[in-house]
Amino acid sequence: MDIDELVIALGALPGAEVGRGPWSQEEPDEEQRKEIEDFLSLYPRLRQDAGYVDFLKRYSGAVIADEKRGQYVDIFGFGEVSSHILEIEGDVVDEEGYLVFAQCMYHDIRDGALLDSFEYDFAYNVKERQEPGVYCCRSTLGDRSQPFVRYADDFSSWLGELVAARGWFRAPVPE
C-alpha cells in the first residue's frame, strides 16, 4: 500500500484522527510548510524514508485515542491533531541519536486501578552510525530500561503493521 492508502486505513480505526499538512490534497495547512522543510533540513537523514516525508508533508501527524480501551497512539507532526514533534518533553534527539516520531501507550485499568501499562517508542537514528530504518524501544511499568532495536525497514512498513494491529501492539514479553 502507498502512504495515502495506509493513512486512509489508519483514519478508519476507532478513535483515530489524521492531520492535514501543507501538501494535503484537501485543505492544505500552509503554515506548516516552512517548519517541516526546516525540520527535514536539520535532520537530513529523515529524507531517506520517502514514506515518512510524504506523511509529514501530507498529514503532519495522527492519533488514535481510545480511552475505553486504554489506548493512545501519537504519531508526532506539526499540526494540531498530534503532539508537535519539536515540543515533546525532553530532547528532540537523545544522546544516542534517536529521534522519536511516535509513541504507542496502553493502559489496563480495571475498577479505577492501573493494573498494567506499556509503551512503544518508535524512532529514527539521525546519526550515520546506525542502519537506516525504524527503531523501537519497549517499556513496561516494571522495566523502563529497554534499548532501541531495529524494528522495520521504513515508515510505510511500520505504519502498515500499526494498521494491521488496529493500533494495538502486544504487551512486551519480559526477557
Closest CA to 58 of 10, 90, 92: 10
To the nearest whole number, what is the mean pLDDT of the chain?
Answer: 90
Cα 43 from Cα 36, distance rounded (Å): 11
Query: What number of other Cβ atoms are within 10 A of residue 14's Cβ?
Result: 12
Instruction: Write down how long the chain is.
Output: 175
Q: State the DSSP H helix or E strand holding residue 34, giving kind and residue range, or none if neither.
A: helix 33-42
Q: Where are the domains of the chain?
A: 3-164
Cα 25 from Cα 59, distance rounded (Å): 9
Model pLDDT, residue 43: 96
Confidence tier at 64 by pLDDT (50, 70, 90): very high
Query: Above 90 in pLDDT, residue 62?
Result: yes
Q: DSSP letter at 132?
A: S
Pick the more confident residue, 170 or 106: 106
Helix axes 155-164 and 50-58, enclosed angle (nearest 10): 70
Query: Above 60 in pLDDT, residue 170?
Result: yes
What's this model's pTM, rounded to 2 decimal places?
A: 0.91
Cα angle value 135/138/141 (rounded, 5°)? 160
Give the model confidence (pLDDT) of 96-125 as tens digits. Answer: 999 999 999 988 777 777 767 888 999 999
